């Protein structure tokens, strides 16, 4: 049986944020993280952009921080006229445009709560990791490729999610 597309709900008038749609089932998007091996051998993931010292929690939803501004436009994330919220990309092509062939830990996230669609992807109120990807096709060094695969396996094990091999063709220098 095929899963239905995420359905948009009409929010009641009494809600605090009627301008941001609420999805009743998770939307799936793509992300990249930096990773760090812990003393206990687990590999934890950290946001690339915010350079947070806090890792993405294992098996839990991450909630976007409330946008706080000195201009009095504080609001819950994501905001329609702001760039706040948890970002995810919509396709492998968007992922390639954003990160090129640099090596990061890549994966899929489920987005939930209030979700705003924008060019190339989404910004959401909540997200959790649903898969880790191996992206090793552009690595020519076999030792480095083996390390990337081991790290991806350890990361998927830590977060208790599937490991998926991305079928992105190798880069060809012209």
CA separation for the pair 11, 23 (Å, rounded): 10
Q: Which residue has the tokens 């396709």?
A: 91
Which of 132, 118, 114, 127 has the alpha carbon at shortest distance from 32?
132
pLDDT recorded at residue 160: 96
Q: What is the pLDDT of residues 82-132, one digit of tens each?
A: 888 899 999 878 877 777 666 678 889 999 988 988 878 999 999 999 999
* Residue 132 and residue 163 in contact, taking contact as beta carbons nearer than 8 Å: yes
Give pTM, 2 decimals: 0.74
- What residues pair up with 121 in beta bridges, in sequence order? 89, 118
Phi, psi of 135, deg, nearest 5: -130, 80
Where helices occur in the chain by DSSP H, the ranges are 92-99, 142-159
The residue written with tokens 């898969």 in the block is 131
How many Å apart are CA 145 and CA 136, to the nearest integer? Answer: 6
C-alpha 104/C-alpha 27 separation (Å) is: 22
């Amino acid at each position: 049986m095929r899963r239905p597309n995420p359905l948009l709900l009409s929010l009641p008038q009494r809600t605090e944020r009627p301008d941001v749609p609420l999805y009743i089932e998770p939307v799936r998007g793509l992300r990249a993280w930096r990773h760090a091996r812990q003393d206990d051998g687990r590999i934890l993931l950290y946001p690339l952009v915010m350079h947070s010292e806090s890792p993405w929690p294992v098996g839990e939803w991450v909630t976007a921080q409330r946008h706080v501004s000195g201009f009095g436009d504080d609001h819950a994330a994501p905001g329609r006229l702001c760039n706040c919220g948890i970002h995810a990309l919509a396709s492998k092509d968007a992922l390639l445009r954003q990160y090129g062939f640099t090596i990061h830990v890549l994966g899929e996230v489920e987005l939930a709560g209030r979700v705003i669609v924008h060019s190339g992807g989404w910004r959401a109120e909540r997200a959790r990791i649903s898969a880790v990807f191996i992206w090793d096709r552009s690595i020519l060094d076999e030792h480095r490729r083996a390390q990337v695969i081991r790290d991806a396996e350890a990361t998927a094990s830590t977060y208790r999610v599937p490991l998926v091999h991305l079928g992105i063709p190798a880069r060809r220098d012209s």
